[in-house]
Structure 1
Amino acid sequence: MEDNAMTGTVRGRTMVEGNGITRNIHNFKFLCGLVLWHDILFAINVVSKRLQGVDLDISGAMEQLDKAKSYLQSYRSEEGFQNVLKNEYKWAEELHTEAIFPPIQEYKSHRRSHFDYEAWDNPIKDPKQQFKVELFNQVLDCAIQSVE
């Protein structure tokens, strides 16, 4: 983005892409996702190293998998979510990023109800709750299922 050797449309396109990437990286939601993935992958890496070892012990590997699963299940709690946010507030401060979730853009969709008993889903209005439901819980559910 700061390369002065580029000129013309290539420089303009590169600057636009660079600014977009920078803006997305400094997004609080993106940084929370990084903290979440770091914690998950750290737990999985321990099991992976054990499974790749030359002196593989199946019972020890199974025990390690159970520990990883237990860790992920306990992480998928309100306390785990608050820990992610707490760590993220520290990162946001270091990166001089505003520690708020971006507001939710509301889209109105008109869906026809085919049956009388169908109820409308209530959309999530809180951006923090939306992150928890749509990313935090889903990523952890997928990780837990993969370990199982």
Structure 2
Amino acid sequence: MDFNASSSFENENEGVSIAEHFLDFLDVKSTTGKNQTDVLLQELDELGLQIKDCRGQGYDNGSNMKVELVEVTEDPKANNEAQSVKNEISSYEFLLALCIWYDVLFAVNSVSKNLQAQKMHLGVASQLLQGLVQFFQKFKDEGFVAATLTARELGETLGVEPKFKEARQRKKRRMFEYEGEDEPMQESAEQTFKVEYFYVIADTAAQSLKRRFEQIASYDTMFGFLYHVKELKEIKEDKLFQKCTDLESFLSFEEEKDVCGRELFSELKVLREILPAEVVTAAGILRFMNRI
């Protein structure tokens, strides 16, 4: 498990800088969440860092999922399974699925790269995620047709016939005694794939991103006035005071708090009056404060 930390520091030539630093590789005997937590807390204690003073996030990356590898020998059963896999990945459904996932991952990756930009802040991050949510809402309506066209073009190149497997047969339920015998009802194979595969992907992605957007939006609501210099300069004093006290409550736990809302309000009232016009970013505010 690698261990990174972000911090702000002062440099006589460059002023205030915020950077991430690699600290160490931590040896873990077990990849369970509890064991990783215990190892991390022990390392923080050895470094003299208090967990209550740390702010950040961690990624499991699915390391708790263990896979047992089994050696496959040459036998008829293995050959049949290999042939089945070959047939599956040579099918039109598989090709269409690849096209769908390409569109999904391309959109997510584009936004993800922007979110990692050095000058990214909460307001822009919130807008990017909101745009991605809207993309998937539109993608559900139009993405299937676009992916189908792409899959057919690829199919012509690869020699894959644009044909779905035979659709399942469903029987129409009898509602009354006088109705005739149940008749099989043909369901379009393409429609089945669209409903049971494409819609599931689009809805799952949209819901997941919606939760992330709502989380980032809530952070922007709480911290945004510190990032948006123009808003900080123009906001009325009563609203500024309310935001400062709200931030105090948000960053409090039991009897401890990270900031005093009233003191922050007093400092920001003075700061916004003395900020030079050319200071338009949060990083610019830090550099300006470092000089005074």
Q: Same fold (TM over 0.5)?
A: yes
Name the structure, 1 or 2, with higher relative contact order (CA <8 Å, separation 6+): 1
The residue that corresponds to 1:118 in the other structure is none
1:124-135, aligned counterparts within 5 Å?
Answer: 125-135=187-197
**In 2, are the aligned partners of 1:26 and 1:95 still within 8 Å (CA)?**
no
Provide the alpha-carbon RMSD of the alignment.
2.5
Deviation string, structure 1 residues 13-49 (Cα, Å, up to 9, x no partner) = 4432321111000111111111111101111112222
TM-superposed deviation, 1:107? 6.5
Deviation string, structure 1 residues 44-64 (Cα, Å, up to 9, x no partner) = 112222333343311111111
Residues 1:104 and 2:179 aligned together: no
Kindly provide the amino acid, as one letter, of the partner of residue 60 in structure 1.
V
**In 2, are the aligned partners of 1:24 and 1:30 still within 8 Å (CA)?**
yes
Counterpart of 2:202 (choices 137, 140, 148) is: 140
Indicate the structure with greater strand content.
2
Kindly provide the amino acid, as one letter, of the partner of residue 195 in structure 2.
V
Specify every segment of 5 or more residues in structure 2 that has no aligned partner in the other structure, as ranges: 1-72, 174-183, 211-292
Deviates further, 53-62 or 132-141: 53-62
Residues 1:42 and 2:127 aligned together: no
Counterpart of 1:84 (choices 132, 136, 147) is: 147
TM-superposed deviation, 1:11? 4.7
Percent of counterpart pairs with the same letter? 30
Residues 1:69 and 2:133 aligned together: yes
Counterpart of 1:27 (choices 91, 104, 107) is: 91
Specify every segment of 5 or more residues in structure 1 that has no aligned partner in the other structure, as ranges: 1-8, 111-121
The residue that corresponds to 1:114 in the other structure is none
TM-superposed deviation, 1:102? 0.6
Indicate the structure with greater helix content.
1
Q: Which has the larger radius of gyration?
A: 2
Length, aligned pairs only: 129
TM-score, scaled to structure 2: 0.40
Deviation string, structure 1 residues 61-105 (Cα, Å, up to 9, x no partner) = 11111121111111111x322111100101111111111111123
